[in-house]
Amino acid sequence: MHWIIWCILGIILTPFLGGLIAGVDRVVTARMQRRVGPPFLQPFYDVLKLFGKEKLVVNRFHGDFVLCSLIFTVASVGLFFAGQNLLITIFALIVGNVFLVLAGYCSNSPYSMLGAERELLQMLSAEPMILLSAVGLFMVTQSFDIATIITSGKCLICYLPGVFIALIYVLTIKLRKSPFDLSTSHHAHQELVKGISTEFAGPSLAWFEVIHWYETIFLLALLYLFFASTPILGVIAILFVYFLEILIDNINARVKWELMLGSAWVVTLVLGLGNLMLLYGIQHI
Amino acid sequence: MVFNIYNNLGEVKVSSISKSPWIIHYDGSSCNGCDIEVLAALTPRFDVERFGIINVGNPKHADILLITGSVNTQNVEVVKNIYNQMGEPKVVVAIGACACSGHFFAECYNTLGGVDKVIPVDVYCPGCAARPEAIIDAVVKGLGVLEEKRKKMKQKK
């Protein structure tokens, strides 16, 4: 029974927390650019407005794909907070992402198509590292169960510093921040108009935002797992990492996809896999 | 900050569209004077994001269409296309003398005159070039119209 309550709490509270984080993100970004910036609740105003707008969908499958994406992303967050299997939650998140790509492929708009293609490239760059982090957590705690990982009491970051740093690197891709905001971005550089979300209008764009909030919280929660034995340090680490992401977002320009894919894989192999090999060596000698 | 959030929560119910008007900017056949002033409104000095205003490049995401310059035979289809791609409720703001009436290009053989010859305009913002303060004022004026249109849309449902 205990885990069902956690699951429901996670699903209900996540959009509020995610929206608030997005709002703080926008204010901090504005302050970095010497602007005043919008109110903290601006993302909620945006989403509420979008729900009230006219539905302009070019393909009748578009709405279904967005709904499927929402269901899988919400399910992955729910399972995460319920303390279930880490691998299942990561796979559910990936499936949710794939449905978003399908929604992007729905229309014939070249911007939307190219955005969807780039979203696939982003997934190809980021997902290996996210899966490797699950493997790393397994090697230390001998379990994929999130509840077991949290209660293991081990200092996971001490065993997996390389994995953690590599995870921060791919976090920039998953959070759609510069320099890796290839498929779509919250900012004004409009090389692809709006990339994958070009054909999202009104309510479906609102769902797109809500899905992104869920994704953000999932990834931050994944980072928290590394500090599960010391909760206060974990919260501080998450805040620091998110601030770092905003800073990186503001001082970098968008890169080409070759550089994103290459650098993400090099970081994954060197820091992620290197860390795991060292750990294996230490455990078995 | 906590108090601020609490205050804001009460207002969410009232209206969210006038708190997050996203604009799209189209340059008809302007001399770029008004365009520069529109973009100046986005800079740190004027910072329209204070009002939740974002400049988007996609008509499907936009609520307010800002047009600078008069409409001519070349771009009349483009203007109509952008207008039709925007979702209801939407507002059109004509920025500058050329967009309002055609200004001194009104009698030219190749221009059709002001923007209102082609699509319905809700707010006129005169000036040559219109100042950023005037542009922000016009957009804020447009929020009232946007709110009315939203109410009408709800009544229709």
CB–CB of A163/A128 below 8 Å? no
Per the structure, the count of domains in chain B is 1
What pTM was computed for the model? 0.91
Q: ipTM above 0.85?
A: no
A191 touches B: beta carbon within 8 Å: no
Dist CA A19 CA A210 (whole Å): 8
CB–CB of B67/B28 below 8 Å? yes
**For the domain that residue B107 is a member of, what is the CATH number?**
3.40.50.12280
Evaluate whether residue B12 is within a structural domain.
no
Evaluate whether residue B14 is within a structural domain.
no
Dist CA B113 CA B106 (whole Å): 5
Does B8 score more than 60 pLDDT? no
**Shortest Cα distance, chain B CAs vs residue A191, angstroms:** 9
A202 touches B: beta carbon within 8 Å: yes
- Name the nearest CA neighbour of A244 among A25, A48, A86: A25
Exposed e or buried b for every residue in A143-174, given b needs 16+ CB within 10 A?
ebebeebbebeeebbebbebbbebbbbbbbbb
- pLDDT tens, residue by residue, A148-207: 998 888 888 999 999 999 999 999 999 988 888 888 877 756 677 788 888 888 889 999
CB neighbour class for A108 (10 Å; exposed up to 12, middle 13-18, buried from 19): exposed
**Shortest Cα distance, chain A CAs vs residue B107, angstroms:** 35
A251 touches B: beta carbon within 8 Å: no
Question: Domain range holding B88?
Answer: 20-148
Q: What share of chain B is helix, strand, coil (3-state, %, to 5)?
A: 50, 15, 35
> What number is the average pLDDT over the span B72-81?
91
What tokens were used for B19?
């708190």
B9 pLDDT band (50/70/90 cuts)?
A: very low
Amino acid A216: pLDDT? 94
β-bridge mates for residue B64, sequence order: B23, B91
Q: Do B16 and A42 touch (CB under 8 A)?
A: no
Q: Which comes out higher in pLDDT, residue B90 or B6? A: B90
Evaluate whether residue B7 is within a structural domain.
no
- pLDDT tens, residue by residue, B106-144: 888 888 888 988 999 999 999 888 899 999 999 988 988
Amino acid A214: pLDDT? 94
Residues of B in contact with A52 (CB under 8 A): 16-17, 150
Residues of B with CB under 8 A from a CB of A: 1, 4-5, 8-9, 12, 16-17, 19-20, 42, 44, 47, 49-52, 54-58, 60-61, 63, 85, 87-89, 150, 153
Q: Of A33, A39, A202, which has the smallest distance from its Cβ to B44's Cβ?
A: A33
Please report which helix (H) or strand (E) contains residue B127, including its range. none
Ranges of residues in chain A whose predicted pLDDT is under 70: 188-190
Backbone angles phi, psi at A147, to 5 degrees: -60, -40
Amino acid A44: pLDDT? 93
Dist CA A104 CA A61 (whole Å): 11
Round the average pLDDT of chain B to a whole number and report it: 84
Backbone angles phi, psi at B108, to 5 degrees: -65, 150
CB neighbour class for B88 (10 Å; exposed up to 12, middle 13-18, buried from 19): middle
Q: What share of chain A is helix, strand, coil (3-state, %, to 5)?
A: 75, 0, 25
What tokens were used for B144?
């009232």
> What number is the average pLDDT over the span B88-95?
91
Does B10 score more than 80 pLDDT? no
CA A5, A7, A10, A13 dihedral sign is: negative
CB neighbour class for B154 (10 Å; exposed up to 12, middle 13-18, buried from 19): exposed
Site from B16, B64, B151 to mutate, A interface, most A CB atoms within 10 angstroms: B16
Dist CA B90 CA A27 (whole Å): 27
Dist CA B18 CA B53 (whole Å): 9
Neighbouring residues of A228: CB distance < 8 A, sequence distance ≥ 6: A149, A150, A151, A152, A156, A234
Does B13 score more than 50 pLDDT? no
Evaluate whether residue B83 is within a structural domain.
yes
Amino acid A185: pLDDT? 78
Evaluate whether residue B156 is within a structural domain.
no
B105 pLDDT band (50/70/90 cuts)?
A: confident
Q: Which comes out higher in pLDDT, residue B15 or A176? A: A176
Amino acid B15: pLDDT? 66
B30 pLDDT band (50/70/90 cuts)?
A: confident
Amino acid A219: pLDDT? 94
- pLDDT tens, residue by residue, A36-60: 889 999 999 999 988 888 888 788 8
A131 C-beta neighbours (distance < 10 Å), count:
17
Evaluate whether residue B110 is within a structural domain.
yes
